[in-house]
Amino acid sequence: MTSPPKIALLHGWATDPAIWNSTRESLEIRGFNVTVYTMPGYGLRKNDSGAKTLEQLVDDAIDRLAGHDIWIGWSLGAMISLEAAARIPAAMRTVVAVCGTAKFCCDQEKTDSLDRLNEAIRSHPEKAVKRFLRSMPKVENRRLVARSAPSPNKDDPVAGSETLLSGLEILKRADLTSEVNKISVPVGLISGEDDPIIPATSGRALHQRIPNSTFTALPCGHVPFLECGPLFLEHIVEFTQTVAESAAS
């Protein structure tokens, strides 16, 4: 009897790893073996010093997720997954990049928005994170996401200010444009058609650059797995089955 595929779920900047809880439970019901990866400086790893570069985050993820077949990374977690696949394809069998991009700061407007967020984190970190989280989904989905996503508070912040600021610097500098075309494992790309953080055009651009990739845009904002939960799961299961059948043939 073959073992169920091992899935790793990678969260994004300023979000508690528990944001994946409902997805993890749904995948486990379907027979998958699921691990939720926690970035250094977040959640139960708050005492770990936060990574200063994307390379350090990738090294940490590769070390902690050895033996996982499927990496599902969201937002910054998608960038980690794509860079890991480009660098060490043997580390996984396939990648699903949710709301991913090769380069977050693709224009001056994005750079300026990160600079403003940097200033807000330095002044009022709790308010800045709450404002950012509220901006992620489509307006009509905000209550749904708020019910499912852990809300930060000053007594138990999702991460310290230093970790959050380091993450912003990583997003500002990271550029995978010349890396993603090296990826040889199958890649599933899922974007939100109305994503205000990383537009679906970024996912389409990745699809053009990654040879063995598929692209899907769901009717949602930046949190497809909460805004379009059943549809998101349907795509994940279908994609992983297709990859498994292709590998077996």
Q: What is the pLDDT along the chain (249 residues), one digit of tens a residue?
A: 467 889 999 999 999 899 999 999 999 999 999 999 999 999 899 888 778 999 999 999 999 999 999 999 999 999 999 999 999 999 999 999 999 999 998 778 888 999 999 999 999 999 999 999 999 999 999 998 988 777 666 667 889 999 999 999 999 999 999 999 999 999 999 999 999 999 999 999 999 999 999 999 999 999 999 999 999 999 999 999 988 887 776
pLDDT of residue 1: 47
Give the residue among 37, 61, 80 at the shortest CA–CA distance from 171: 80
- How high is the pLDDT of residue 51? 83
Residue 59 region by backbone torsions, left for phi larger than 0, else alpha for psi between -120 and 50, else beta: alpha
Q: Which DSSP helix (H) or strand (E) runs through 131?
A: helix 125-135
Rounded Cα distance between 229 and 29, Å, is 14
Please state, in angstroms and as integers, the Cα–Cα distance from residue 184 to each residue in 17, 79, 121, 123, following that order: 28, 16, 38, 43
The reported pTM is: 0.96
Can you name the CATH fold of 6-248?
Rossmann fold (3.40.50)
Q: How many CB atoms lie within 10 A of CB 105?
A: 18
| 192, β-bridge pairs | 218
Distance CA 94, CA 88 (A): 12
Q: How buried is 73 (Cβ within 10 angstroms: 0-12 exposed, 13-18 middle, 19+ buried)?
A: buried
Q: Which residues pair with 119 in a beta bridge?
A: none
φ, ψ for residue 36, nearest 5 deg: -100, 115
So what's the pLDDT on residue 146? Answer: 86
